[in-house]
Amino acid sequence: MNKLFTSIAGKIATLSGKPLTFILAISAVIVWAITGPMFGFSEVWQLVINTGTTIVTFLMVFLVQNTQNRDASAMQAKLDELLRAVKEARCEFIGIEHLTDVEIEKIRTQLEKEEGPGSEKKPSHRSVGRLLSRR
């Protein structure tokens, strides 16, 4: 059941991000809007688009969240493996994604202090600027 859901969620998330899917959604809204005068802009006419969009949105939230959770977990596993593989890396960072936001912010602040003014390794944001200017 889990593999089936993962497969379906992944396929739907991929399809929903395609330009053709967006064009189909816009087309459906245009057709709905054009039919407004034919149905006298009735409550039923309005209910069709409201119900349809609510159902699609409701279901897509779960599918997209499932896909994002899976992608984030895979990325975290890859980063943990890099921490294990690099000799100079501090392995105590493995698993910090399970800490609270406040705890993670404290770690981030401490890391920035370690690499900030007064340390041998000063971060240079100029190199980032040079990379961006190459585009």
pLDDT of residue 9: 86
Residues 30, 24: Cα–Cα separation, whole Å: 10
pLDDT of residue 46: 95
Residue 17 half-sphere exposure toward CB, CA atoms < 13 A: 8
Containing 82, the helix (H) or strand (E) segment is helix 43-85
pLDDT of residue 43: 96
Q: pLDDT truncated to tens, each residue of the chain (135 aa)? A: 888 988 888 889 889 989 999 999 999 999 999 999 999 999 999 999 999 999 999 999 998 898 899 999 999 999 999 999 999 999 999 999 999 999 999 999 988 888 765 555 555 667 777 777 776
Cβ burial of 28 (10 Å; 0-12, 13-18, 19+) is middle
pLDDT of residue 42: 96
pLDDT of residue 118: 56
